[in-house]
Structure 1
Amino acid sequence: MSVLLTAPFCLLAACEKSTNPQEQEEPKIEEPKENDSENSGTDLEITSIEQLNQGEVDINSHADFTSRSSLKMNYRSYIGIGKTGLGVDNPRYPRIKKLANGTYILFFHNAPQSIGASCDYAVSNDLVTWTSKGKIYQNYEIVDSHGEDNERRFATCDALVLANGDILAVASFRANRGYREKPLDAGLVLRRSTDHGQTWSEPIEIYQGVNWEPYLLELPSGEIHCYFTDSDRTSDHGTDTGTAMVVSNDNGNNWTPSFGSDPYYVLRTKHIIDGGTYFNNQMPSVIKLNNSNELAAALEANIGGYHISFAYSGEDGQWEHLSKDEEGPADRNDLAFSGSAPYLRQFPSGETILSYNHNSRFHLKMGNAQARAFGENYSPSVFTGGYWGSLEVEDSHQIIGVMPNTGEKEITLAKFILNHTIHASQRTVNIDGDNTDWENTDEALFVGEKSQAQGTLRVAADNDSVYFLVEVLDHILTDEDHAMIYIAAADKDALDEGAYRLKVAHNGLKETSTYTNGWTSGSLGANAKSNFRGTLDNNFDRDHGYMVELAIPRSELTIKSEQILVNFAIQDNESGEDAVTRTNGTSTAKWISVMDL
């Protein structure tokens, strides 16, 4: 049944941004009118993207197709988490982790001038409502190594969920006054939780020396690496850094080299400033690549501006231990592009995802399975006004991004959906405007980054037909809203004869076009049936959405090697067009393959 809201259109649209769901008022709801003739399909339930793509994924299943893979932010997941959820006024440097029990934990420091004094954390069951848990590292007064009154401060807390479910949270500590010149008062400190962040062990110090930005990695062997920006020489020159590490072989209880010893110097590139030799490679993020022992590191290099660099360990998965005056490893890609604050992750299917900051915006790049070839920059417009963001893989097709929005004094959070090659389900579909015969685990494509309106596309096939299911969730349905399905042959990267474009809406198939040096009206002999739930062109109610089923004879499509290419878009009155990839031009290089036809 459709429901009516008393809120006008502008208020309803504003609620979709959901800057802090904990501070919103509950809307007042009225029952729909009995004679509302525009309502249809009152029992229709549109399938959300969270219910799809739930099947098993083979490791590196898409390693050969990553050039076509892409990300789309899920606007409905986008929120700004402020003081109500975090308990601080100026959250910076967020690091989010999904815990073994399915809940979430977010670490950050509070810093009007960016550099933290203490580290806080918050927890959530759903990524929407957050509860502040207070300080995990609290600053306190000390007498420093020079015998002076000082203060121990903490910053840049990051964490790791171990294979056994424990959480390790590591932070950088320093003396507040003169920290560059007081390495004996600086280091890394670690705490453990065995109950999903409810309680924490007493801190242990695992490294002594000036540092920033620790990062933890657990290998399948159980070996744990703690990487960090080695800043011991920045008192000589502010850009003289490198990445060092300490290692634990007993689940994080003891670390080598021991506290007070030099660390292992592992990731360093030389550069010359005014005739002097210095090093860079800082703010490390390191992953073990799928189906490989090789480690891939994304790093920040501050040489005439900030750049992203990469380094690789080789198949043995071991970094060479360098001297202070040595650079390495040899296998690297220095100064690959402008940016700072890298964070690297990999989907089970093979795609590597890099987040980084540039011009106070959150950027993402899709990489191949070896983390060596990265594609176009992707920067959602809502992630702005901050720096030092991070990523966490949610599941096989979703990744969570977080970044501070310093102007709003909050942390921006959203999920990003992975669009990549999909496989058609093998079934005969009854074209009746009812989606109950489509399994929820079917592989799907997603659009929905611009507003609350979002759509999915699924494909099935039998010996006679290829079937498409379009489902669009939309709180504000209008007669002009529609979706577009683009179909092309899989053996070319440009539009050619045999390409088709179908326009569908709440009331079915609206238009079919064929391509011959341009789009012209045509026919595919498609059978279509639609259904919708809502009231069209009524800005004072809350609609649900529409769905369209289509069957196209196989003989009408150009199917090569049991594949076609598709692109998918929705056109919404609120936000305009939202597509998997560009719909203008003739290139199909970023269209998605549909296999098993």
Structure 2
Amino acid sequence: MPSPEHRIARRHVLAGSVAAVGASLAASFPAPARAAGRSPRAAASLELDAATYVELDADFLNTQTAHYPRIKRMRDGRFILFYQTSQLAWSIYWTTSRDLKRWDKPQLLFATHKILDGADDRCYATADARVLDNGEILAVCSFRANRGFSSNMKLNGLMMRRSTDNGRTWQPEQVIYVGANWEPFVHQTSTGEVQVYFTHSAPKRVIENTKGSTGVAIIRSHDRGRTWTPNVTEYPYAADRVAQQYTRTTDAGVKMFTDQMPSALQTHPHGRIALAMESHLANGDYMISLAYTARNWPDKLAMDEPGPADRQNNLFLGAAPYLARFPSGESVLAYNRASRQYLRLGDRDAREFGDPETFLPGTGFWGSIEVAGPRQLVTTMANVRSDGNKIMLGVLDLVRH
């Protein structure tokens, strides 16, 4: 009999699906002018330090189907890694390391359990985290009912746990948003505001009974995650939309949108933020788009309003973006294409990017990056294998020429 991880209900994956890194991404696609040619940081490049490369195997990870690794450097200098135990959703583990080679025994952070008197399972997926300015760690993931995902929005949402001791212990779960969602990204601005960006689909589901239309929304906290604005707990489950791209109108006259799997980067003080997103176009292609704000998203979009005005749509073929920036100003955009992870060096504003490079040897999807020093970047992704998935990790050096 298959394990519980393989008996979960299937769903239409809103973002970063296998299709997004498989056949639909295999074809070449011309890059627009702003993404082509020499890097805006042509005097620098990324190089993999081969001595740092490591793979965590399935036996160590306690699952044959590890996916969605997210790595963060904590205030004490150690690293914390989060991953989920199924491609779609089940449970989420964490583990820590001082040197990226020797890792502590993984422990459950969000564990699936029975709900509705045993009639369904609550499962967890797509965790992200942020080490706050005071050293606390906020880990946020999507949760959903395994069987009732589409029928009852109140059984889905965003869950958070907090650690005040560099990941050694975690406070109880806290629901911070109610409604269907995927792929939260946790960000903190220089003013201390904590933001959770996420793939936002619930309002069109409940208002129009529309599936497959997405956008990016945020909730904000001004007390390091203890309270959130807007406090979304009921119909129509609308957070503050900040980005969505029109794709088509259905035969029934319903407008469909995309933008999902967000990753945010503050590019300058006073609210200048770049937002990388995956855009699923009407022709089936997955593309990387970016949106920008100069004032910390002061205006929220209506349900059928595209925006923001300042954005670069469909820059290049790819899925599952993740942003980071070195202290010296170079931005880095990581994403998937044809089951490989690619990275591009960019300018300080994350508007212009150089040519893509790939470093991790395996194939998979849904990776992430984290700045680990003045010129060091940690990159990670699942290596999807028939004999059990592994998690790849390596350190990239920023080299000046």
TM-score, normalization: structure 2? Answer: 0.84
Q: CA deviation at 1:271?
A: 1.4
Greater relative CO, 1 or 2 (CA 8 Å, sep 6+): 2
Counterpart of 2:22 in structure 1 is: none
Is the 8 Å Cα contact of residues 86 and 122 (structure 1) preserved in structure 2?
no
Is the 8 Å Cα contact of residues 379 and 396 (structure 2) preserved in structure 1?
yes
Which of 132, 145, 163 is the equivalent residue of 1:162? Answer: 132
Q: CA deviation at 1:385?
A: 1.7
Is the 8 Å Cα contact of residues 40 and 354 (structure 2) preserved in structure 1?
no
The alignment status of 1:123 with 2:96, answered yes or no, reads yes
CA distance in 2 between counterparts of 1:414 and 1:290 reads 28
Counterpart of 1:465 in structure 2 is: none
The alignment status of 1:77 with 2:52, answered yes or no, reads yes
Q: CA deviation at 1:292?
A: 6.1
Indicate how the Cα distance of structure 1 residues 70 and 209 shifts in structure 2: closer, same or farther if over 3 A, else same.
same
Alignment of 1:42-441 (within 5 A): 66-111=41-86, 114-143=87-116, 149-232=119-202, 233=204, 236-261=209-234, 262-275=238-251, 276-290=254-268, 293-303=271-281, 304-314=284-294, 316-380=295-359, 382-407=360-385, 408-420=388-400
Tell me the secondary structure at the aligned position of residue 378 of structure 1.
Answer: coil
Is the 8 Å Cα contact of residues 71 and 81 (structure 2) preserved in structure 1?
yes
Indicate how the Cα distance of structure 1 residues 110 and 183 shifts in structure 2: closer, same or farther if over 3 A, else same.
same
Tell me the secondary structure at the aligned position of residue 374 of structure 1.
Answer: coil
AA matched with 1:187: G
CA distance in 1 between counterparts of 2:242 and 2:233 reads 18
Q: What is the aligned-residue identity percentage?
A: 37
Is the 8 Å Cα contact of residues 65 and 389 (structure 2) preserved in structure 1?
yes
Counterpart of 1:50 in structure 2 is: none
Q: For residues 374-426 of structure 1, what are the alpha-carbon distances to aligned partners after superposition, in whole Å with 9 as ceiling and x for unaligned?
A: 1101012x433200000000011010000000115110110111112xxxxxx
CA distance in 2 between counterparts of 1:85 and 1:397 reads 30
Q: Which has the higher Rg, Structure 1 or Structure 2? A: 1
Structure 2 stretches lacking a partner, 5+ long: 1-38
Is the 8 Å Cα contact of residues 274 and 350 (structure 2) preserved in structure 1?
yes
AA matched with 1:152: R
Tell me the secondary structure at the aligned position of residue 251 of structure 1.
Answer: coil
Structure 1 residue ranges (4+ consecutive) displaced by more than 6 angstroms after TM superposition: none
CA distance in 2 between counterparts of 1:411 and 1:277 reads 39
Q: CA deviation at 1:75?
A: 1.0
Is the 8 Å Cα contact of residues 267 and 311 (structure 1) preserved in structure 2?
yes
CA distance in 2 between counterparts of 1:123 and 1:163 reads 20
Q: CA deviation at 1:290?
A: 4.3
* CA RMSD of superposed structures (Å): 1.8
Aligned length: 351
Counterpart of 2:13 in structure 1 is: none
Q: CA deviation at 1:319?
A: 4.3
CA distance in 2 between counterparts of 1:405 and 1:238 reads 30
Q: For residues 150-192 of structure 1, what are the alpha-carbon distances to aligned partners after superposition, in whole Å with 9 as ceiling and x for unaligned?
A: 1111111110000100000001000100312221100001110
Is the 8 Å Cα contact of residues 319 and 329 (structure 1) preserved in structure 2?
no
